[in-house]
Amino acid sequence: MARMHSRKRGKHGSKKPAKKTAPSWIRYKAKEVELLIAKLSKDGKSTSQIGILLRDTYGIPNVHALCGKSVSAILKEKKIVPEVPENLTAMFRRFAAIKKHLETNKHDETAARGLHLAESKINRLVKYYKRTGRLEETWKFDPDRMGFFAE
C-alpha cells in the first residue's frame, strides 16, 4: 500500500513475535501490570509512552500477551482514557509546530503544503473519532487555537 500523501511505498516496520504467550521470565503478574499502567497514566503518560516504559524499564515485552488486552483497553476499562486520542494530539503538535515555523519563514511553500496536509489528516481523524463515538459530535477543530501545542 502506498503512503497517504506521497506515492512512496516505504519500508515495513518491525514485526511482533508470532508466539502470543508471555515469556516465562517475566516477574510481574497481570494484575500488577494493570495497576502499573493505571499509575503511569495518572502520572500523565500516553499509551505509547506507557508501552515503551513497560518494555524498557520493567522488562514487559508485550502487555497483550501477559494481560490478554492492550494498554488502551486496560485504560478504557479503568475509565482513565484521555478525552482526545493520542494520535490526534500528536497531529495537533505537528500542526502547531509547522504553523510556528511558517510565522518566521513565510515563503516556505513546502511547509505550507505540510500544514495543509496536517490539517487534512486532523479533519479525517476527527471525522473518524466522531463516527466511532470517541469524540462528541459537537467537537470542532479550531486551527487558530493551536498555539498552545507549540513547544
pTM over 0.85: no
Q: What is the pLDDT of residue 14?
A: 75
Q: What is the pLDDT of residue 150?
A: 52
Q: What is the pLDDT of residue 125?
A: 94
The predicted-structure confidence for 33-65, as pLDDT tens digits, reads as follows 999 999 999 999 999 999 999 999 999 999 999
For residue 62, is it within any domain?
A: yes
d(CA 129, CA 139): 10
- CA distances 132 to 8, 129, 136, Å, are 29, 5, 10
For residue 134, is it within any domain?
A: yes
For residue 8, is it within any domain?
A: no
* Same domain (yes/no): 93, 138: yes
The predicted-structure confidence for 62-113, as pLDDT tens digits, reads as follows 999 999 999 999 999 999 988 889 999 999 999 999 999 999 999 999 999 9
Total number of domains constituting the chain: 2
Residue 113 near residue 121 (C-beta atoms within 8 A): no
Alpha helices in the chain (DSSP H): 30-42, 47-56, 63-67, 71-77, 86-104, 109-132
Q: What is the pLDDT of residue 21?
A: 86
* Same domain (yes/no): 105, 61: no
Could you tell me the residue range of the domain that residue 49 belongs to? 30-77
